[in-house]
Amino acid sequence: MRKICVIAALCGFFVLQNVAQAQQADVGLGFGTLLAPSASSADSSHFPQSIRGGLYTSIRADIFMKHHLGFNGEVAWRSRQNLYNVGGFGEIPFRPILYDFNALWGERFTKEFGADVMGGIGGEDVRFYGNVNCSFTGCTDYTSSTHFLTHVGADVRVYVHGNVFLRPEAHVYFVHNNFEFSSDRMTRVGVSIGYSFFSNK
């Protein structure tokens, strides 16, 4: 969870440093779930373990600079640990964390509605719990398996009160060499609540 806090803090700092020059900045807290192929659909290059299911919490920040173009950063993590089947050795707890940084296009079409599309790169950090690992930075109770990913997403912003919005959204991840799970592809769907800051320029 420390890594999540660090990524969220960096995104927040980056947003604050650029808000003065931005035409619009959005922040949001979201909840959703992960859709992915079942364990039975795994091929010879993937383990028969699905990453799908569970409640995912996400934090996101968007910056729009000019002509509705901008960038964003987001991190999403499974709120509760899941169990990973290791065959005859039983099951071990694990938690996936997904983070991405994107180019972004967004528009507010009316007072009540807006939409965004995005694409970029990031990473998947799968934490397997149960073993204590120590290094010069300290000790953790997990080991991490990290993979590069590419990401595309889209959402609709529904402004419910002033600059407060609800945002149904969908994100598709393509994870490089995601051999721990049944597929290299997964989709996160959910809804977030957020707030838009607009420039007075």
The domain spans of the chain are 2-198
pLDDT in tens, 54-107: 999 999 999 998 888 999 999 999 999 999 988 777 899 999 999 999 999 999
The reported pTM is 0.85
Tokens 């699905």 belong to which residue?
A: 50
The domain made up of 2-198 is a member of CATH 3.40.109.10:
no
Sequence-ordered strand ranges (E) for 67-198: 69-78, 82-85, 91-108, 113-135, 138-161, 164-175, 185-198
Q: What is the dihedral of CA 56, 11, 149, 196, to 10 degrees?
A: 70
Q: What are the pLDDT digits (tens) for 120-168?
A: 999 999 999 987 777 777 788 888 999 999 999 999 999 999 999 999 9
Residue in the block written with tokens 């595309």: 152
